[in-house]
Amino acid sequence: MFDKELLNDKSIIVTGGGTGLGKSMATRFAELGANLVITSRRQEVIDKTAEELRDHGGKVLAIACDVRDSEQVNEMVSQTVDGFGKIDILLNNAAGNFISPTEDLSPNAFKTIVDIVLNGTFNCTQAAGKVMREKDGGVILNIVTTYAWTGSGYVVPSASAKAGVLAMTRSLAVEWAKYGIRTLAIAPGPFPTKGAWSRLAPPGLGIEKKMRNRVPLKRVGEHIELANLASYLVSDQAAYINGEVVTIDGGEWLQGAGEMNELEKLPKAAWKLLQMKRKKKK
Ligand code: HXC
Ligand code: NAP
């Protein structure tokens, strides 16, 4: 389905690109011919990932940066331009999250997550957007979650911040289209990663099993499925898609939303009984 040269010569920044889903998307972009900058706070982590990505033949830079700090972000973007001469694609993937009853959150706990997810996305978007506007445009792809629009208890800082990122995505899709910039989002459902699972599904609570069972397709996502979707959306093949948020969750959020979806649990015999009663009444 994918041309091996789909992303040839594209210059792509992946925030949070050293681990988890960021690493998986960066790997797929590298396989499809892109040059990459991967960035996160831990230099040793991104150095190791960069080494692996170079096996695919493209150029890879590992530049440490805390997305909360706009000066560090500006420096990272400036080093990207020094290295590759342009930025075609920005993938805002870096995030922070934890589960907690909201009444236990300190102001700093809330601020920390909003700073990484919402302000971090703004800092990177502002810095990379400036470069894109001065060249031929580009693509900004933001990773949100399905609770960006439903909200979710116990992850209120993350839900609030991701909702902000979703609003930013749709706002800039209109405002920056005139510069040739497409702005998009992906809303993943559950995709096992060490970063997310260690914080959101601590062992012993059965959270992972419940997550899996809640998905109508009865499984979690495979990283390659998300990486392929991201590759398509950032490629020129998707040139007319702008402002869209694409859900990739096996139907999970709709399962929770549909009023009568709980009827899935009704045994066949109960359906038969209901039918018999209806016919008898008639
Ligand atoms: C309540 C907590 C907390 C917890 C930290 N805090 N963990 N409060 N419950 N579990 C509070 C601290 O007490 C402190 O407030 C404030 O948050 C900042 O904490 P620090 O540890 O100083 O922050 P920092 O070192 O910057 O680390 C940020 C972090 C950490 C978010 C807390 O977990 C991190 O680095 N995460 C990055 C990776 C990550 O989270 N990946 C998962 C993404 S998964 P006080 O008041 O004490 O100073 C994801 C999936 C979404 O987003 C959807 C899944 C289906
Ligand atoms: P992850 O491996 O923990 O990824 C988060 C990344 O963000 C890490 O590489 C981390 O690296 C980086 N990061 C955190 N704070 C940062 C900061 N201040 N500055 C720069 N980088 C920072 O978790 P993941 O599951 O792959 O999550 C990736 C994205 O997918 C996130 O946006 C998450 O919300 C989203 N998502 C995940 C799932 C899922 O099921 N996994 C579902 C929905 C959405 P450092 O610690 O080195 O900085």
Q: What pLDDT is recorded for position 203? A: 86
User: What CA–CA distance (Å, rounded) separates 127 from 19?
Assistant: 23
Q: What is the pLDDT along the chain (282 residues), one digit of tens a residue?
A: 899 999 999 999 999 999 999 999 999 999 999 999 999 999 999 999 999 999 999 999 999 999 999 999 999 999 999 999 999 999 999 999 999 999 999 999 999 999 999 999 999 999 999 999 999 899 999 999 999 999 999 999 999 999 999 999 999 999 999 999 999 999 999 999 999 999 999 888 888 888 889 999 999 999 999 999 999 999 999 999 999 999 999 999 999 888 899 898 899 999 999 999 999 998
- What is the dotted CATH code of the domain comprising 11-281? 3.40.50.720
> Is 147 one of the annotated active-site residues of the chain?
yes
Query: Between the CA of residue 207 and those of 87, 95, 99, 119, 257, what are the distances in Å?
Result: 39, 21, 12, 29, 19
Per-residue pLDDT of 205-241, as tens digits, reads 888 888 889 999 999 999 999 999 999 999 999 999 9
Residue 194 CA to ligand 2 centre (angstroms): 10
> Which residue has a Cα nearest atom 37 of ligand 1?
96
Using the atom order of ligand 2, give the atom closest to the CA of residue 41. 48
Ligand 2 center from residue 210 Cα (angstroms): 22
Q: What is the pTM of this model?
A: 0.97
Query: Ligand 2 centroid vs 195 CA: distance in angstroms?
Result: 7
Catalytic residue among 147, 179, 232, 240: 147
Mutate which of 93, 103, 112, 142 for ligand 1 pocket (most atoms within 8 A of beta carbon): 112
Q: Residue 211: its pLDDT value, please?
A: 87
Name the residue with tokens 């992303």: 7
Per-residue pLDDT at 282: 85
Counting ligands in written order, the one closest to the CA of 147 is 1
Q: Is the CB of 93 under 6 A from ligand 1?
A: no
Taking the CA of residue 96 as reference, the ligand 1 atom at the shortest distance is 40
pLDDT of residue 209: 87
The structural domains of the chain, with segments of one domain joined by +, span 11-281
Torsion angle of alpha carbons 118, 120, 124, 127, nearest 10°? 100
Write down the pLDDT at residue 76: 98
In whole angstroms, how large is the CA radius of gyration of the chain?
21
Does the beta carbon of 235 lie inside 6 Å of ligand 1? no
For the range 80-86, what are the long-range contacts, defined as Cβ-Cβ under 8 Å and sequence gap of 24 or more? 80/11, 80/13, 80/37, 80/128, 80/131, 81/131, 83/37, 83/59, 84/11, 84/35, 84/37, 84/59, 85/11, 86/11, 86/131, 86/135
State in Å: Cα 251 to ligand 2 middle: 22
Nearest ligand for residue 43 CA: 2
